[in-house]
Structure 1
Amino acid sequence: MMSSLLRLLAAFASLALLLSSAASAGGYERVRIPIDEGQLDGVLYRPAGPGPFPAIVALHGCGGLWRDNGTLSVRHSDWGARLAEAGYVVLMPDSYGSRKLGSQCGVKELTVRAGRERVADAMAAKRWLQMRADVRKDAVSLLGWSGGGSTILTAIRTDRRPADMLPDFTRAIAFYPGCRTQSESDSFRARLPVLILMGDADDWTPPAPCDFLARSARLRGESVELVLYPGALHDFDHPRLDVKERTDIAYSASGTGKVMVGTNPAARDDAIQRVKSFLLKTR
């Protein structure tokens, strides 16, 4: 009787461990991050095991983290699981949902701005991660898409260095950011290595300002690399987004509010490998 009970308990323990490992590898946890005006909701992916692990603060674009049905968007779930499997704790702060806002892609007068609230959110997310025992305080990187990428370009400026005594971000990756504001700033200086990934056919955030920004930064001795993918559009790294026209955009290169978006499998595959290689230099 006792032997059967022990076997049953052992089976339950094994099942619990299996489920826990599966959740760590492919699932996420909802978390809350303290900020000045209250709390910031977030999504946390983490590898299996105790750590400590390197970490990534990942910043969503103008569409936010969530789909209309309340599930995490495919792009974010794909990257979160992929990076956790590669050994990173990934924190995705929800800058819009936390403030009761939906998609901001069609909003011209933003109340949550890349250069202010979203940079503050990224800094709060970094501090929150660095308080965790399973995170390496000296190995927290930044990653962002579109408006999140634009936020990164502001956050990594030399004159925006965090005021706290914790280690700074180590590296930054920006997918198809808007570079015009920073490229037109005489005071822009990148204080850490940056990788910018975008398509040369992007008509939402055109690549020309990013090309100017990267070339100017390199002439100053800063580590800013731009990779342009031939024929790729905005959202090229999405796991499965058919090429289509969007007509609900507040700011587009044409000024019409119309842009083309969609997955580019070759560019996506290359970007996945480049992101992993770039982040490996923090480990």
Structure 2
Amino acid sequence: MMFCRRFRVTVLQLKGCWFRRLLRQSPMRLRLTALFLTLLMSAAHAAPAPQPVEIPLASGVLHAQLYKPEGAGPFPAVIALHGCGGLGGHSDPVLPRYREWAERLLRGGHAVLLPDSYGTRELGAQCRVREMHVKARRERVGDIAASRAWLMKQAWVARDRVSLIGWANGASALLWAVRPQSAARDLSPDFRAAIAFYPDCRISAGLGWSTRVPTLVLIGADDDVASPPACRQMVDGARGRSALARIVVYPGADHDFDRANMPLHAAAGSSDAAAPERDHLGTDAEARAASQKDVAQWLSR
């Protein structure tokens, strides 16, 4: 369609000779033009799609999803660890709660790698499974190590700026992965930072947890799934004998406070297998907004 000679226009620039000619079109052509513009605007605002990748494990491969900025890099990278509900659903490789965080980090210039610890092993949600086959301190720590090793081989990765972020069970795995005993034996740079959303700190607190990586714990004061007192005890106990560890407790916030558009509800009344068996879950707008700022600041250290 020729609107004007030597004409250039962006989706948002409806002006000049093109706009005047548009107004003179027939109703049918106007409708077609409107449809064309709608499709253009949808494409312009379409969310980036993740790229599936396969990461070598000692036995088999670890399936993961990768969000990568355009260009050659090198880019800082974040390994993002899903909770007990798993990474994806039936029709979506990345659930909205993790996709939103991945897109936020991507806009900040980070590549985001999301290993699928359960889907790789043909498991569904593990929140209500009594005997979990994939342990936070064992298989998931192995997945973190494999993900880091894979990133270290990618030319587009800033190898000294690879960080960790995890939610719930993924955050618990993160706490095991940053312990001094879990340090990689190669000469590659270590993780730059780690951020744990509402992990179960009770075992770590009892074991005298410490970290070799600057670690931020984010949890709601009213979280009755995890334990804010145990997380505070864990972080306080690490002072003076580990890398920097900090905890932020958001007043009035419950478990899953950073998840969008989820009214507070009792998990016991939910039929969702991806939810814990007990206690309360729900969005807290203030804590959600504050955590987004806290994550950005911690990663920019």
Looking at structure 2, the residues matched to 173 and 72 of structure 1 have their Cα atoms a distance apart, in angstroms, of 19
Give runs of ≥4 in structure 1 deviating > 3 Å.
18-23, 68-71, 219-222, 248-252
Looking at structure 2, the residues matched to 122 and 20 of structure 1 have their Cα atoms a distance apart, in angstroms, of 34
1:86 is matched with: 108
1:277 is matched with: 297
Looking at structure 1, the residues matched to 174 and 190 of structure 2 have their Cα atoms a distance apart, in angstroms, of 13
Aligned residues: 259
Say whether residues 1:149 and 2:171 are aligned partners. Answer: yes
Say whether residues 1:184 and 2:206 are aligned partners. Answer: yes
Q: How far is 1:69 from its partner?
A: 4.0
2:19 is matched with: none
Other structure's SS at 2:149 match: helix
Say whether residues 1:44 and 2:72 are aligned partners. Answer: no
1:120 is matched with: 142
8 Å contact 1:204–1:251 — kept in the other structure?
no
Say whether residues 1:138 and 2:160 are aligned partners. Answer: yes
Say whether residues 1:268 and 2:288 are aligned partners. Answer: yes
Note closer, same or farther for the CA distance 1:225–1:261 as it changes in structure 2 (3 Å cut): same
Q: Percent identity?
A: 41
8 Å contact 2:212–2:242 — kept in the other structure?
no
Note closer, same or farther for the CA distance 1:150–1:99 as it changes in structure 2 (3 Å cut): same
Could you list the per-position Cα deviations for residues 59-105 of structure 1 after superposition, in whole angstroms to 9, with x for gaps in the alignment? 00000011244452111110111101100010000000010000000
The 5 A counterparts of 1:46-125 are: 46-125=68-147
1:228 is matched with: 249
Looking at structure 2, the residues matched to 155 and 221 of structure 1 have their Cα atoms a distance apart, in angstroms, of 14
8 Å contact 2:205–2:231 — kept in the other structure?
yes
8 Å contact 2:214–2:245 — kept in the other structure?
yes
Q: Return 5+ residue gaps in structure 1 as ranges.
A: 1-6, 8-17
8 Å contact 2:267–2:275 — kept in the other structure?
no
Q: Return 5+ residue gaps in structure 2 as ranges.
A: 1-5, 7-40
8 Å contact 1:27–1:81 — kept in the other structure?
no
Note closer, same or farther for the CA distance 1:265–1:251 as it changes in structure 2 (3 Å cut): closer
Q: Which has the larger radius of gyration?
A: 2
